[in-house]
Chains A and B, each alone.
Chain A
Amino acid sequence: MTETLREINDRRQRLTAGIGERVRALPRWQKVLGLLAFVGFLYYLPYLGIPGLTWFRTDYIPQGNNWAGVLFSCAIYVLIAIGLNIVVGLAGLLDLGYVGFYAIGAYSVALFGSTQSPVVEALQNRFGLSEQWAVSWAICIPLAITFTMISGVILGWPTLRLRGDYLAIVTLGFGEIIRIVARNSSWTGGPQGIAAIPGPEGAPSADNTIFGLIDPKPWYWLALTVVIVMVFAVRRLEHSRVGRAWLAIREDEDAAAVMGVPGFKFKLWAFAMGAALGGLSGFLFASRNAFIEPTQFNVYLSILFVAAVVAGGAGNIPGVAIGAFLLAYLPERFRDFSEYRTLAFGLALVLVMLLRPQGLIPSRRRARELADRRKEAPANV
């Protein structure tokens, strides 16, 4: 069976071979124009009405979810994948507790921004503030980033001495600890969660004209803008001393140390930067949802995030973005098969791993590595 699939895949490869090379060979200004057009298209997506493409809208099917709302969650996932890609794809540290950072980001805006949160209530009582007082949304952004970065460092400090599977197990535990603490502490609102989480226009109310509860389009544009800024930022890191250090650590940590790479420092940075992006993503999710509770941050999400990165192509930003987009989009589009949704989804993942173990759009390095390996061992193992 896998033989037949491989054959089909090889035929497809022969058809699509060279497309990437041809794109890369284009003059730079054409690439820039193409990129701008693509970004414009992304901003236009919520209105998608081009004949033939409307099929892709999730509200094309009966009971389909709001299209812009789905796009928003896709953007959230992409942001997470880009963050996790720093940790898993670049620095090569397997983090199975990434949902912890997502939760911390979400809880920081909830705990400090919502008038109903126990933390804000305690602050109101302590300093005699009015019942309406809460930390404003804009100030919650740096708060969320700071908290997640600090938690990344706190998690990383003792655990980054571990390697491989051991690190994965510890991080898996971290994700669960965050969820369980959120569930069992009174200051996090416990299992009831926290409501009335603010957006850019303040606490959710019917008066909010742009970032309201009904129309998700502005939320999508906000998230998309954040994603674009972050892609730019991560690319800067990738093509610098930091990115090289991360790759060197991924490739051979001991050799990197002997060549003067302070491994621990850069691994900690990878954790902190990855955590910041995950936290930012959770922050956006909480502000859009206006309500969070602990069960939204279970371990299933962590696995899904890693799946997005691996299926998309670890180490490559377009790859992980596509992977995350598909993982958020496909279950929504194929809601018809509601019971079989997870099954179909799992099957799709297995297919991806069989046909393209290097991911959908792998980084050029990984692609070559795996292609070489197949040449070396032509037998179907």
Chain B
Amino acid sequence: MIIPLLLVLAPHAPHLPLWISLAWLGCALLRLHGAQTGRQPVGRVLKMLLTLAGVAGVLLQYGTLIGPAGGVALLAFLSGAKLLETPTPRDRLGLLFVGCFLLVAHFLDRQNLATAGYMAFAALALVAGMIATQSPASTAWRPPLALAARLMAQALPLALLIFLLFPRLQGTLWGLPQQVAAQTGLSDQMSPGDISQLILSDELAFRAEFSGAEPTPQQLYWRGPVLWDYDGHTWRTATPLRAAMPEATGNGQPLRYSLTLEPHRQRWLLLLGLPTRLPELPGNPTVLGADLQWRAREPINQRLRYGIEAYLDYQLEPALSPTLRARALALPVGGNPRARELAQSWLDHATNDTARDAAIVNQALTLFRAQPFFYTLNPPRLGESAVDDFLFTSRRGFCEHYASAFVFLMRAAGVPARVVTGYQGGERNPLGNYLIVRGRDAHAWAEVWLAGRGWLRVDPTAAVAPARVEHGVSAALPTAERPGNLATGAWLRPLGLGWDLINNQWNQWVIGYDPARQQQFLARLNPLLADWRSRVWALGLGATLLVVGVAAALWPRQTVIQSDPASREYQRFCRALARLGLPRGAAEAAEDYARRALARRPDLGNEIKRITRLYLASRYGPAGYQRGAAAADDSLRDLKNAVAAFRPGRRPAAKLGVSEPT
């Protein structure tokens, strides 16, 4: 009983206050000690005081006794305190039920495959504990565990059926708890060094699946936060743009893809291209800004899957409003004089008005390409004038340096520009035919606005390190700088991809099985199931069929086993006589049968009498009642020997001269 609880509680321990873990272990040890000495570990009053102290402690720590965190702590503590008394079978079951509750509580935090596997094992231990409760005297652990495994396996089909068909409800019954967890992935702002930190992370950002042809790597710019405002050090968006469908037109065929975003505890969402329509997220309204930045009202705390139809080729905001134009040209007052000077010189040398801005963009890209710029994760520290230092002194940097400097130059030269962050590229998983995008694919690029063409994507990093865009970050970095996880041996790769495939399926079919997915899946399975009422009917019917099926499979089959060895021997004797043409009547008593047989075959008289007597003695005699008694064994052995020796001839022995009566 202690072991299943321990299995369930151990993963909770890191989230519980230390004193609860220690108190629980202490109680368990006292219990074990008490079981050995056969005494109550502590007195009743002390136990009561301890329990009250524990409840008060939980109350002080969490301020509440209910809710996921406080409730788990309270139950964990009480389950320990309960160990202090000698439990009745019902108490034991109750404790194991608490274990079930604590087990399920894990899934509020973690839902990955490993957790589920571990918890399935813990559930097995709990069930085995319930079975063991039935036989308190027995200490064998193997039979309960084996039976528990059988029960769990038999229960699984029904569980899956209910899981698939049980109508999922949207929304919550009461408030979700405030979950405080570190944000991961891109943030809403960008300072030098932010993204290079992300690059080191192998953490999954999202997965994407394309229903048609997959775009080329150069097209895979997953758009995240769009940054407008620069203070000389950090890019951010102080006030997001108004929520409006951007003025944009798409060209060509729209691309369909679905994206499974890992929870990053922030509000931005990712887009590829210009969406034809925004998908609706359950319980979390979203807006799309005029700058094609998609934001949700609530942070993304759960893994999220959405499908989008989008144009990869589009024209965004051909006409720029004066306010936006001003914002796209704003620079901090002062600082970076050399960069401003350079930009001014481009502006001065530009001739044609319509192609001027495009020429300036090209000049900047040429600068990055022609000058000795290096793509590196370890740029030197930049001083007060970060852009000047980068452009003219260090010339070493990462995508955020390039994007930041590029946009600065553009604005200084009067070209409206902004920084866009997001992810670029991704690793294709050939096993599942989808794209895995990780932290290391984080990227920053720029957008410039050109008259008549709208906002255009310009990736200055691509000018410096084209391999970054085509082959990913590890190809672009100098060998020495590749993070360990990027440089892992090639032989591990298929393994990792297979594991990711399993995880992806798990996420989509188990964790991501939400009302929308259920609706989609069931409707595709059978249009009838699209309605929740028919779903309930199907659930009832399916469950009934399954239960009946399991019941039929389980039903104890009657076996024709002559459990009584004496009868078995006697049957053999009767068969031998039947072969002589003397079958035993259906309801003929053994003694009557013997008399009848004797009349027909007097030559066999002694044997028939002896076998009948031995049979009656061992079956109905006083010794026969005590199976295993020495007397019973003796008479049974005699019977066996006599039957074995009974080999009557077809005809009576001639020398006796007894004729068969007719």
Question: Are the chains A and B members of one assembly?
Answer: no
Residues of A within 8 A of B (CB): none
Residues of B within 8 A of A (CB): none
